[in-house]
């Protein structure tokens, strides 16, 4: 799986999630090859994520502006 998903678009990644790939497989195998640039560097420096929700929360804290929730409304 490692090299095969390096070119994936977000829609393809979502398809993997919907098709039943296990959450831990997604976190450990797909994300390291799906993320690029600063996000990939950031992921490499993080301790292992144990759930998708934890990953998404950390990703939002790192990459969304502090006032993001206010600007969306």
Domain boundaries, the chain: 10-72
User: How far is 49 from 47, CA to CA, in rounded Å?
Assistant: 6
For residue 59, give the nearest of 49, 69, 71, 70 by alpha carbon: 49
Summarize the confidence of residues 2-8 as an average pLDDT. 51
pTM: 0.61
Is the CB of residue 19 less than 8 Å from the CB of residue 48? no
- 34: which 2 tokens? 């799906």
Q: pLDDT tens digits for 13-70?
A: 666 655 566 778 878 888 888 889 999 999 999 999 988 889 999 999 998 877 766 5
Is the CB of residue 59 less than 8 Å from the CB of residue 31? no
SS3 49: coil
């Amino acid at each position: 799986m490692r090299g095969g998903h390096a070119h994936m678009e977000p829609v393809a990644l979502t398809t993997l999630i919907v098709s039943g790939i296990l959450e831990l497989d997604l976190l450990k195998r797909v994300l390291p090859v799906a993320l690029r640039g600063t996000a990939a560097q950031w992921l490499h420096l993080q301790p292992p994520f144990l759930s998708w929700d934890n990953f998404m929360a950390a990703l939002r804290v790192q990459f969304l502006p502090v006032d993001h929730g206010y600007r969306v409304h």
